[in-house]
Amino acid sequence: MEKVTVLGAGSWGTALATVLADNGHDTLIWSHREDQATEIHEHHTNAKYLKDVTLPANLHATANMAQAIEHASIVVMAVPTKGIRETCQKMMQTLDKPVLFVHVSKGIEPGSLLRISEIMREELPASVIEDLVVLSGPSHAEEVVKQHPTTVAASCESLVAAERVQDLFMNQYFRVYTNPDVIGVEVGGALKNVIALAAGAVDGIGYGDNAKAALITRGLAEISRLGVKMGAKPLTFMGLTGMGDLIVTCTSVHSRNYRAGFMLGEGKKLEQVLDEMGMVVEGVRTAKAAHQLAEKYDVALPISAALYSVLFEDKTPLDAVDDLMLRMKKREMDEIYNN
């Protein structure tokens, strides 16, 4: 049995804490909100994020970071990308021992263009990082808490650390593979949210399955093209954290990115969409990062660029699709890895 603290009590932090508690680990979840910690600890619910779910009785919660850190030999970082730096800084007020970190967030920081593991290594001294493993893949919280079969990958250069995380989470309904390609896993997880916003938008416009299949396929091409330039292995994008997560996010009603995109396609403005969602829509910030990454690495990311113009340049989704369809002629395969 391991002593695990999950930082972040939204849908994903709570669902993963449930898996850990189901596996018999001594699991504590930390929320930055006192009311939410109390709800989880005393009532075994987290109603805003996981409706009609009763959490395991052996899952505990706190809003006290010092207590959360004191508890842990393993820390799971499950806050949205925007909160990663702040949470690391809060943690460092008390953390003075090495722990194994697992992060499960999917984003790239605009401006710095850092992946989550890079942000964490920037904020945390090496002396407190025993190892840092990424856990990612096609995994909606709403299905995990129902114990529906789910597969993900634990990614770290150290196979020993990746296997420890594999053992920590793995059970009958939650299957974990290992993958040493941290860059590919993080880039795939972050960029699929941008494509999912676009997939939601084409459905919101009222277009059909042909358009969505095109977005998924060409979306994977542009994610791979960028990822390879950033140092990822091409094959990773064919796996769970690439194609797998892209499929689930572009096609599931559970996806906040897909649902936000759908509303954009219906003609709603971004601000209104984000208000209505009330949960994190990671693809919006990552679309900004993608825009900057395209320039930095000199890679064409046409779907991400079209989405960016809808989100931040007031282009209508219909016009953005027209622009994509009328781009200059291309060969399908030559450009995937050679731009």
Ligand X SMILES: O=C(CO)COP(=O)(O)O
Ligand Y SMILES: NC(=O)C1=CN([C@@H]2O[C@H](COP(=O)(O)OP(=O)(O)OC[C@H]3O[C@@H](n4cnc5c(N)ncnc54)[C@H](O)[C@@H]3O)[C@@H](O)[C@H]2O)C=CC1
Q: Look at residue 33 and give the partner it binds from ligand Y, ligand X, none, a contact being a CB closer than 5 to 8 Å depending on partner kind.
A: ligand Y
Annotated ligand binding at 68? The verdict is no
Residue numbers 256-285 binding ligand X by CB under 6 A: 256-257, 282
Report the C-alpha gap between 239 and 216 in whole angstroms.
14
Give the active site residue among 48, 90, 192, 330: 192
Q: How far is the CB of 245 from ligand X (least distance, A)?
A: 5
Render 6-61 in DSSP notation, one character per residue.
Answer: EE--SHHHHHHHHHHHHTT-EEEEE-SSHHHHHIIIIIS-BTTTBTT-PPPTTEEE
**Residues 36, 62, 166, 255: which binds ligand X (CB under 6 A)?**
255
Report the C-alpha gap between 287 and 190 in whole angstroms.
9
Give strand ranges (E) for the chain.
3-7, 26-30, 59-62, 74-77, 99-103, 129-136, 150-155, 174-179
Using CA atoms, how far residue 69 sits from 55, 62, 96, in Å, is 22, 11, 9
Closer of 224 and 251 to ligand X (Cβ): 251
DSSP secondary structure code for residue 214 in this structure? H
Residue numbers 290-319 binding ligand X by CB under 6 A: none
Q: Look at residue 78 and give the partner it binds from ligand X, ligand Y, none, a contact being a CB closer than 5 to 8 Å depending on partner kind.
A: ligand Y
Closer of 32 and 254 to ligand X (Cβ): 254
Closer of 95 and 205 to ligand Y (Cβ): 95
Cβ-closest position to ligand Y: 10
Residue 245 touches ligand X, criterion: CB under 6 A: yes
Report the C-alpha gap between 77 and 121 in whole angstroms.
13
Residue 106 touches ligand X, criterion: CB under 6 A: yes
DSSP secondary structure code for residue 108 in this structure? B
| Residue 97 annotated to the active site | no
Residue numbers 116-175 binding ligand X by CB under 6 A: 138-140
26-30 sheet: strands from edge to edge:
59-62, 26-30, 3-7, 74-77, 99-103, 129-136, 150-155, 174-179
Burial label, 254 (beta-carbon count in 10 A; 0-12, 13-18, 19+): middle
Tokens 């850190």 belong to: 69
Annotated ligand binding at 214? The verdict is no
Quick note: the x/- pattern for ligand X over 194-223, rule CB under 6 A, is: --x---------------------------
Render 57-84 in DSSP notation, one character per residue.
Answer: TTEEEES-HHHHHHH-SEEEE-S-GGGH
Contacts to ligand Y by CB under 6 A: 8-13, 31-33, 49, 78-81, 83, 86-87, 104-107, 139-141, 279-280, 282
Pick out the residues of the known binding site for sn-glycerol 3-phosphate.
106, 137, 139, 192, 245, 255-257
Enumerate the active-site residues.
Answer: 192
Pick out the residues of the known binding site.
11-12, 32-33, 49, 106, 137, 139, 141, 192, 245, 255-257, 280, 282
Q: Which residues are near ligand X by CB under 6 A?
A: 106, 138-140, 193, 196, 245, 248-249, 254-257, 282
